[in-house]
Amino acid sequence: MDRLFHALADTTRRDILRRCVRGELSVSRLAEAYPMSFAAVQKHVAVLERAGLVTKRRSGREQLVRTDPDAVGRARQALDELESAWRGRVDRMARLLAEDPGTDENDTTEGPER
């Protein structure tokens, strides 16, 4: 999960993922779209590949990159689970804040200094 979220944390990698979801693109073709070196784009692709978000295959001299839809689905599932957990926590906090706190029976201090 850490590799997945690390890979998705970068704008360029998210863009590469979006571009490759439409079909295979060569790394050299991807590199044309960014103001960075070919080697830098290769490194971004490698991060995505280690996270399982893209697959690469060789076709002649080119490395073709494709988004793995199953991996994207797993990422979405992980995010949905996190959202559900946090929504539950926020709902519980809202209920606690809405409850009347009443007075503390053990509090014997008087005046504004409590």
Least confident of 9-13, 49-53, 75-79: 75-79
Give rounded-to-5 percent helix, strand, coil for the chain. Answer: 60, 10, 30
> Contact, 41 vs 5, CB < 8 A?
no
> What is the model's pTM?
0.70
Number of domains comprising the chain: 1
Is the residue at 6 inside a domain? yes
> Contact, 17 vs 53, CB < 8 A?
yes
Is the residue at 12 inside a domain? yes
Domain range holding 55?
2-70
Cα distances from 100 to residues 28, 41, 47, 84, in angstroms, run: 63, 57, 51, 27
DSSP letters, 2-38, are HHHHHHHTSHHHHHHHHHHHTS-EEHHHHHHTSSS-H
Is the residue at 22 inside a domain? yes
Q: What is the pLDDT of residues 83-110, one digit of tens each?
A: 888 888 888 888 888 986 665 555 555 5
Q: What is the pLDDT of residues 17-45, one digit of tens each?
A: 999 988 899 999 999 999 999 999 999 99
Is the residue at 83 inside a domain? no
Is the residue at 108 inside a domain? no
CATH of the domain at 41: 1.10.10.10
Is the residue at 88 inside a domain? no
